[in-house]
Structure 1
Amino acid sequence: MMIEELDDPTGAGGLEKGSWDIDRMCTALDPLAIADAAAMSISIAQELETWVRSTALPVRQEQIMPAAILAAFIAPWLPSDQCSLFAQAILWTALIDVFVDDLKSESDRAVEACLQDCRSVISIKNADPTHSLSLALSTIHERFLNQPAGPSLYSFFQSATDSFLSGQSFERRAARALTGGAELPTIQEYLKQGARSIGMHFVTAVLWSTIESADASPAATSLGDALDDAALAVRLANDLAGHDRETVEGSVNALALGLQPDHVAHLLSQCAHRCVEKLNNFPPAGHLLTLALERQLLCYLRIYQRIDASH
């Protein structure tokens, strides 16, 4: 499916929260494929629950199933063990985001210590994680290295993880500036860091690691620009869908920094179309990598078109 086939992927003039045009619902869904993905989702959710207990992650029960559903429906070709790894990556990025966004319960020092502990997990051999979130990352890290393309994509994974954590640190500082009346970042800096903090590079690295490919590393490098466009598109969709909530919470987003919804939707559409165009022009040898990225992009945009799915 190409981006053009989505009915109004940007939600003209902005993503309308809760909008659902029955006449435009997609009915061309194979019931057996749905059943397979649903069954996989249930299995993955059970595995996530075990993982959450083993790492003492601060998870609400209702956060588990969405991660399982996304993993199963985005990558239906994956066997259960690899799909659960992808789901872990999705859930972990969401939990980091919630943790960093909590300006009231968590001190800046505690947040930065946790993020630094996470950095140590991927940069220091035999690191000893001290936080449940860094412990969870260490289990993802270990499983990543055992995936078919894990070793060849390890540098990419390290860079993606560090980029995500740096983006989260930026968002924390920006939120403090917003609530404290200090100088805010420029929109250019926000878009650069926001594309990192959304977590697309991290979860994509984990998903790509499961794909057996002799040229996974050069292919991932070649797809870097497409991934950047996808990440920014998802960030902007997130901002449009969650603006009302984030205004109450004191979080920074593109609209809080002065962009109008129409402008954000236009930028989102440009990024999404650029990404898909680049994927369509990619050599067939990297087909599964491009398919994995395109399915992520379309699923996330569609979900943010319908609901504020961040928290």
Structure 2
Amino acid sequence: MAIPLAGRDEREAAAEHGRTCALATECLRDLQECAAAYPDLFPPDPFGPTVFSGVALANAFGSPWADAGRIRIAARTALWAFAADWLVDHVATSPEEIDAFAEGCTAVAEGAAGNVPLERLLASIRAELTASAVWPALAPAWRDALRRYVEASAREWSWKAAAARGERSALPTVEEYLANADNFGSHLVNVSHWIAGETVDTLERLRPLAAAGEEVQRALRLVNDLATYDRDVAWGDLNSLMLAAGREEITRRADELADRCERLIAPLEDDLPREAAYLRRQLGYSIGFYGTADYWGDR
């Protein structure tokens, strides 16, 4: 049977998607090289192919106009956050381990080389960022984003530990959970991406962009939760659906956050069109991706 040819618009759209997938393939190769350099940090279980391909695709579709070199730092930072998330949520068993995680990351933020694989990978990311022309101006924003990621991760660990001890009253409200969304990691990824890309050169210009990105991060936190509830229950992770009246409430909140994201992104279009598009695409891609898939895959 003959396959009908697509119309011109369809061909052009398919060509654009093809270029984006080619960019994701290049990004995937870099992530695989990164993981190979830190084998203790990325064991096959749980770091199967879906983690690496998912991270590569998300970053490629977020910046399809870029080349692989331009999204390298964002992708590696996202992969680092997956490793940190796994170590904090599923490997650490004591407050002392969480304190060591926080202290090690803080030391790297100040220029230390790192003592364990997670710290050394973070140090390699920081070393690449220091080569950016805008690093002197934006380094405080990166250190703050990292601090917030670490503190939010530690806070969620303490909530989960209390719940495991039967202290249900220690669990956060949905509002407190959303206020802790920095442990999702996208704000840290975004700041790293913008520093590496050198398109934002002052803290003043970064501030409204980061604020929009933080709102996107909160929306993404709920989009993720809606898709991964069953896995989170099985793995013992915290999920907003465990804290809310039901799925309908979280869906409504996610929709409201998405609307607020647009209100924050729209004013950025004139001065920072690519960055505004990046944030829109980040949210849109995740809504589509989580509709049918999950980064972690099956264990």
Deviations 1:51-77 (A, max 9, x none): 222234324341222212222221122
The more displaced of 49-58 and 286-295 is 49-58
Question: What residue is the counterpart of 2:279 in the other structure?
Answer: 293
User: 1:11-26, aligned counterparts within 5 Å?
Assistant: none
The unaligned stretches of length 5 or more in structure 2 are 1-9
* 1:293/1:256 CA distance change after superposition, 3 Å: same
Q: Could you tell me how far apart the structure 2 residues matched to 1:164 and 1:207 are?
A: 16
SS of the counterpart of 2:244? coil
Question: 1:205 Cα shift?
Answer: 0.5
Query: Which stretch shows the higher mean deviation, 300-309 or 262-271?
Result: 300-309
Separation of aligned partners in 1, 2:89 and 2:82: 11
Give the conservation status (yes or no) of the 8 Å contact 2:142–2:192: yes
Q: For residue 245 of structure 1, what is the aligned residue in structure 2?
A: 231
Deviations 1:219-261 (A, max 9, x none): 2212343222111101111111111111122222212123311
- In the alignment of these two chains, the number of paired residues is 280
**Counterpart position of 1:5:** none
Q: Deviations over 1:88-114 (max 9, x none)?
A: 011111221122221xx4322334312
Which structure shows the bigger proportion of residues in helix conformation?
2
- Residue in structure 2 matched with residue 302 of structure 1 by the alignment: 288
2: CA distance, partners of 1:181 / 1:29: 56
| Cα distance change, pair 78–172 in 1 and its aligned pair in 2 (3 A) | same
In the other structure, the counterpart of 1:84 is 72
Q: Give the Cα–Cα distance (whole angstroms) in 2 for the partners of residues 296 and 198 of structure 1.
A: 13
Cα distance in 1 between the residues matched to 2:108 and 2:128: 13
Higher relative contact order (CA 8 A, sep 6+): 1
Q: One-letter code of the match for 2:244?
A: G
Tell me the distance in 1 between the aligned counterparts of 2:133 and 2:274: 14
Residue 171 of structure 1: which of 147, 151, 156 is its match?
156
Matched residue, 1:43: 26
Q: Closer, same or farther in 2 for the Cα pair 1:241/1:88, shift >3 Å?
A: same
Structure 1 counterpart of 2:72, one-letter code: S
Selected match of 1:279 from 246, 262, 265: 265
Alignment partner of 1:259 is 2:245? yes
How many angstroms does 1:34 deviate by? 2.1
How many percent of aligned residue pairs carry the same amino acid?
Answer: 22
How large is the Cα RMSD of the aligned pairs? Answer: 2.1
| Residue 144 in structure 1 maps to residue 129 in structure 2 | yes
User: Could you tell me how far apart the structure 2 residues matched to 1:204 and 1:49 are?
Assistant: 21
Structure-2-length-normalised TM-score? 0.86
After TM superposition, the structure 1 = structure 2 runs for residues 127-206 of structure 1, keeping only pairs within 5 Å, are: 127-182=112-167, 183-187=169-173, 188-193=175-180, 195-206=181-192
1:19 aligned residue: none
